[in-house]
Homo-oligomer: A and B are copies of this chain.
Amino acid sequence: MSKILRINMTDLSHKWESVPKEYETLAGRAFTSAVVNKEVEPTCHPLREFNKIIISPGLLAGTPAPSSGRLSIGAKSPLTGGIKESNAGGLTGNRLGRLGVKGIIIEGIPPPDTKDWYSIVVGKDSCKIVKTNDYAGIGCYELIGKIWKDYPVKPGIIGCGITGQRLMKSAGVFGNNPENTDPGRYAGRGGLGAVFGSKRIVAVISDSTGGAVPSPKDKDRFDKGRKALHEALDKHALTGKLNDDEGNPFGALKNYGTNVLQNILNESGSLPTRGFSSGRFSGASKISGEAIHELVDKVKKKFGDAAEGRYGHACHPGCVMACSNIVPYEDTGKAHVSPLEYESVWALGTNLNIDVLYDVAELNRLCNDLGLDTIEAGNALAMLMEGGLIKYGDGPAAIKALKEVYKPDSVIGKLIASGTQSAGEALGVTRIPVVKGQALPAYDPRPIRGIGVTYATSPMGADHTAGYTIAAEIAGIKGNVTDPRELKKAELSRTFQATTAYVDAAGYCLFIAFAILDFDDGLNGMVDTVSAFLGKEIDIGEYGMAILKNERDFNKRAGFTAADDRLPEFFKTEPLPPHNVTFDVTDEELDEVFKGV
């Protein structure tokens, strides 16, 4: 029996609600965006009493559908001022799915003079709001360690670190890894960690003891679908198994992680480098997925079973793609950071002109410990470099600056944690790579125009995961595209955005995109799982577009207009080497994406 848990932080009460008819087929992003749009006043201050946090496991979370355990978190974003859904792997999606919780709605804030910090413990038909002052003010590694000790049942844990507790706009929501106390599973974007902080919530702990695997309405079709999808994933060159039958490396993501993109993007001349001033980075190979693979192999060889380094690591139970990794210290073989993803390596390495893998891993570890979104923090560090406070390429200086974030009174620390736009504007930078206040990720929109259209028009602000046209433009999915500039960008981005919204709602990882685009069996398998689970035929495009409509409606009422669906001016006037192109999609083309929506 699916149900909704509503928590009021003003009087620390909670109640269980049955699921209204309008939400019956919704889950994950579909649920969070519907509730935010319905219940949150769009012009409210995102860090004061009227904002709400909505937590919802994907539709298939907790089921055996492959790579389907993701968790969505929604609210009005302190970073963009618009609606936000951010999703991640980790354990909580699985745990809430097994508990039959469709969503948690957290409203209100404790009275202004409250000094206490709280955590929410969700179990089978139970909810406790407990005072956990000892969880506040510490690093996220230590925090998860404490919680895991207090709750030895391997609960799902999400929450905010010290940056969220201090209402910093780059604070993400961390999630725990399936098997250790690393806080590496981030619903990072949009400053949702600060919304947790504003409600004085450190953690939401989900214990699925006594829960059950959710039952699909049509079990046969569901099982057929999940198997077909699993097979498609396994046979795809990007998401397939670690080795082929002859023992050679096969699946790119399992071997090299998402950071396999570092060399590919560099090759294509669209790898944003040194504050979006070049599309090529001389140091790319040194911090690439291949370099991490090599480092892991090296420590394995040297330290044997004691080596903690790993590739082909799953971010949530039931993920068959396992694109994650554990990056080891070279000298001890012990874990340094997990995961080290492409976007983070790019934000904390490439775009800062830093090509020392250790420095990049350390910057990522610090972000994870501080509760910071790596993309936002990296771009903010780039603003410090643009503003002349640190030199491009100086890894130790970047590490030193990021460590300032720990200090409650450090102004430079606060500047980094307040996000790219705040940092850039405070430093007089006019090349600030943000859309709707959120920093751009790791694909330059000048040579790759479709992703530029997604950055500009997504209700989320600049976000590659909102409509990952890279699959078609760079990864050659659905056949090789020789010139990524030739696709019809508005249509391409719209299709990806709608499909992505559907995938997010299902709880599937975005990376199933490769297999469902390339193999009809995979696509049909995905559709079968969702429709069979609900016992109702669901159309991908309609379902996805309904989510986007909710999101755009919220943003419109919050004051967003077509003027917000634009890239920063410098992308239109500064050509990017080596191709020396500017972003030349017209405003009219951008407005085509959601015409009439």
Contact = CB atoms under 8 A, between A and B. Distances in A.
A411 B43 CA distance: 31
Contacts of A557: 563
Interface string A425-436: 111101000000
Minimum-distance CB pairs A-B, first 10: A559-B563, A167-B428, A418-B426, A45-B569, A559-B561, A411-B412, A411-B411, A47-B430, A422-B426, A166-B428
A214 to B, nearest CB: 39
Nearest to A387: B414
A153 interface: no
A428 B409 contact: no
Contacts of A389: 409, 411
A559 B569 contact: no
Contacts of A564: 559
A52 interface: no
A166 B426 CA distance: 10
30 contacts: A42-B563, A43-B566, A44-B569, A45-B430, A45-B569, A47-B430, A48-B430, A48-B569, A48-B570, A49-B573, A50-B569, A168-B428, A194-B428, A198-B430, A387-B414, A388-B409, A389-B409, A389-B411, A411-B415, A414-B426, A415-B426, A418-B426, A418-B428, A422-B422, A422-B425, A423-B426, A557-B563, A558-B563, A559-B561, A559-B564
Contacts of A408: 388
Nearest to A166: B428
A427 B387 CA distance: 19
Interface string A31-50: 00000000000111101111
Given A48-B569, A418-B426, 17 more contacts: A44-B569, A45-B570, A47-B428, A48-B573, A49-B573, A50-B569, A168-B428, A194-B428, A389-B409, A389-B411, A411-B411, A411-B412, A414-B426, A423-B426, A559-B561, A559-B563, A561-B561
A568 interface: yes
Contacts of A49: 573
Given A561-B559, A569-B50, A414 B388 contact: no
Nearest to A413: B411
Contacts of A426: 411, 414-415, 418, 422-423, 426
A80 to B, nearest CB: 12
Interface string A126-169: 00000000000000000000000000000000000000001111
Interface string A550-571: 0000000111111110101110
Interface residues of A, number: 44
A81 to B, nearest CB: 9
B568 A45 contact: yes
Nearest to A427: B414
Nearest to A558: B563
Nearest to A565: B559
A478 to B, nearest CB: 34
Nearest to A81: B563
A119 to B, nearest CB: 21
A319 to B, nearest CB: 35
Contacts of A411: 389, 411-412, 415, 426
Contacts of A422: 422, 425-426
A82 to B, nearest CB: 11
Contacts of A418: 425-428
A50 B572 CA distance: 12
Nearest to A437: B425
Contacts of A562: 559
Interface in A167-182: 167-169
A252 to B, nearest CB: 39
Interface string A4-34: 0000000000000000000000000000000
A223 to B, nearest CB: 49
A308 to B, nearest CB: 35
Interface in A505-564: 557-564
Nearest to A78: B425
A378 to B, nearest CB: 17
Contacts of A47: 428, 430
Contacts of A573: 48-49
A418 B564 CA distance: 22
Interface in A385-433: 387-389, 408-409, 411-412, 414-415, 418, 422-423, 425-428, 430
Contacts of A387: 414
Contacts of A409: 388-389
Among A43, A426, A557, residue most surrounded by chain B Cβ atoms (within 10 Å):
A426
Nearest to A198: B430
Nearest to A568: B45
Contacts of A427: 414, 418
Nearest to A410: B411
Interface in A46-82: 47-50
Contacts of A560: 559
Contacts of A423: 426
A553 B422 CA distance: 27
